[in-house]
Amino acid sequence: MISGQDEIGRMEKALNILRRRAEDADRLRGNLEEAVMARTGDVVAEMQASDAARAKAEAADRSKTDFLARMSHEIRTPLNGTIGMLDLLVAEEPDPDLKQRAHAALASARALLDITNDILNYAASEDSKNPDNAVHFHLREFVGQLGHQLQSLTLPKKLDAIVDLSEGAPIVLYGDVVKIRQIVGNLISNAVKYTKSGTVMLSVDHALDAQNGKPVISFSVADTGVGMTQNAISYAFDAYTRADSAKRAGIEGIGLGLAISRKLTEALGAALTVESEPGVGSRFTLTVPLALGDAALARDEADVTGDVARDLNVLVIDDHAVNLMVARGYLERLGCRVHQAGTGAAALEAAAEQRFDLVLIDLDLPDMRGEKVAELLGQNPDAPMLIALTAYLVEDTVESRARLGVSYVLQKPISPRALASVLDGVSSGDPREQMSVLESLRDDISDLGAETTGMIVREFLAALPADVDMVLTASGKAQQKAAHKLKGAAANFRLEALCAALLRVEAGADAESLDAVKRLAAEAARLLQAAMKEAGLQTVAGSTK
């Protein structure tokens, strides 16, 4: 209540206004605090929900990874046996007709494995780019394999199968044959499926790209089947769709083959076209740019034989009977004496009774992990070369070899050529190190010139005996310093095995590491001398060779 209109009254009025404003500010502050608390609660709830969703997604991702790893193993294990036994059958079958049939079955099994690997890799990485896996391959042999597939599909339906490869086609090509095989295989399968009577024909033609002069190959699959309308053609490559005529004809399938083929065609940088007419038939044509290949790099796995006897004592550790038969067949063909063990314990017992030059270890043993077996075998003073065998998608990298405690990681099914390379490496040094040393010399020649590079290598070789003797005879810090100095010099030529042994001496010398330095230094000298000859360098100062 205001007492008057004088100065005191005006002050009272002003105080009332301030009081009301303070009350309004208090109410506003309270409302703001309530809003902040409510919003904070919402944010906390959202964060908790996000954390729960993230945990659920991570759990799903781990589950997917575990599932793919298991699928990889479970699918590839029986394929290993199929491919291995067919490979041995191809090598040992004397009847030409049976040999040819077995070879066709082997090619199909290997194609299935390639496709399985692609699917598993794609699903694991969700890489829609479909990375290129180009290889050298014989075109005639490849077309022959497709022809066998066509004949095997048309025979039960009593259809005529025709394969035509144009004259003058390149003999060896370089490209992603796995994707090409999958596309053309899908086209052949569809053509047979949609054809009740008449003919299915595979035609392979070639031309040269006018711009770069490289070969362009076309694979056409024509049939006398139900055909498609122009409207059906427009969605022929969409997933899960098929022409009405196919549905009415009761043809099985959901129409994924062409959709997959289109994606693979895009990954190849190729083109896939179709011509069709209802009641007349269809023609699908894949036109793919390739490069000329190298015949020396396109040899068939079955060409690997035991002409050169390796004469090695080998232990194979695997609990799968077929895998053991396959490994034994390959190794005996390559001139080895083979012993078998079904468990890690049995392998350790065998290794205690006799010495092996090489041990192949399946990583998925029933009683212990293959890594543990490798660790225990590697503790022996005269340890054999250890090779991991796996049906999982484990790459043969430095990290993988170090983690598993082995010298190589071989994928199942075992490649006879890769196995032969490993066997050769047991007695003549790691072939990859040989190539690495040669590449280092070629790089030096490019940077420094042949004369300077030759002089550097000759000086290293001349000083090597004295440098090794210093490492072997010195002690304490003098020995560590000598090992460090020699390691630095050896690293210039990528002598990785010798460098690894010298590194162990730096960390603390023992009899085993010193023996390794002595042995690997002699091997390093041999590698360097061989690499010098291969690179065209003078092995003796002032000489011409």
Three-state secondary structure readout of 506-526:
HHCCCHHHHHHHHHHHHHHHH
Domain with CATH 1.20.120 in the chain: 433-535
With b meaning 16 or more CB within 10 Å and e meaning fewer, what string describes 218-241?
Answer: bbbbbbbbbbbeeebbeebbeeee
Domain with CATH 3.40.50.2300 in the chain: 304-425
Residue with tokens 């009025």: 13
- What does the alpha-carbon distance between residue 366 and residue 77 come to, in Å, rounded to a whole number? 15
Size (the chain), residues: 545
Contact between 191 and 282 (Cβ < 8 Å) = yes
- What does the alpha-carbon distance between residue 298 and residue 136 come to, in Å, rounded to a whole number? 5
| Residue type present at position 372 | K
- What does the alpha-carbon distance between residue 477 and residue 461 come to, in Å, rounded to a whole number? 24
- What does the alpha-carbon distance between residue 456 and residue 39 come to, in Å, rounded to a whole number? 73
- What does the alpha-carbon distance between residue 288 and residue 180 come to, in Å, rounded to a whole number? 8
- What does the alpha-carbon distance between residue 187 and residue 180 come to, in Å, rounded to a whole number? 11
Domain with CATH 3.30.565.10 in the chain: 128-296
| Residue type present at position 55 | A
Q: Enter the CATH code of domain 433-535.
A: 1.20.120
Residue-wise pLDDT tens for the chain (545 aa)?
A: 555 566 766 777 777 777 777 777 777 777 777 777 777 777 777 777 777 777 776 666 666 656 665 565 566 667 766 777 777 777 777 777 777 777 777 777 777 776 666 565 555 544 445 556 788 888 988 888 888 888 878 888 899 999 999 888 898 999 988 889 889 988 998 899 889 999 999 999 999 988 888 999 999 999 999 888 888 887 777 755 554 444 545 444 445 567 778 888 888 899 999 999 988 999 999 999 999 988 777 755 444 444 455 678 999 999 887 778 888 888 888 888 899 999 999 999 999 999 898 899 998 898 999 999 988 988 876 788 888 988 776 777 767 777 888 878 887 767 777 777 777 666 555 555 666 677 778 778 877 888 888 888 888 999 999 999 998 888 888 888 888 889 888 888 878 778 877 887 887 767 767 877 887 888 788 778 878 877 777 766 544 44
Q: Quick one: fold of 304-425?
A: Rossmann fold (3.40.50)
- What does the alpha-carbon distance between residue 113 and residue 346 come to, in Å, rounded to a whole number? 31
Angle between helices 321-333 and 416-428 (to 10 degrees): 60
Residue with tokens 């090779």: 387
- What does the alpha-carbon distance between residue 88 and residue 93 come to, in Å, rounded to a whole number? 8
Rounded to the nearest 5 degrees, what angle is found at the Cα of 414, between the Cα atoms of 410 and 416?
Answer: 110
Strands 313-317 and 337-341: parallel
Residues 6+ apart with CB under 8 A from 351: 315, 359, 377, 380, 384
- What does the alpha-carbon distance between residue 352 and residue 492 come to, in Å, rounded to a whole number? 39
Q: What are phi and psi of 353, to 5 degrees?
A: -90, -30
Residues 6+ apart with CB under 8 A from 268: 175, 176, 179, 180, 183, 288
CATH class of domain segment(s) 128-296: alpha beta
- Three-state DSSP at 229 gives coil
The reported pLDDT for the residue numbered 253 is 43
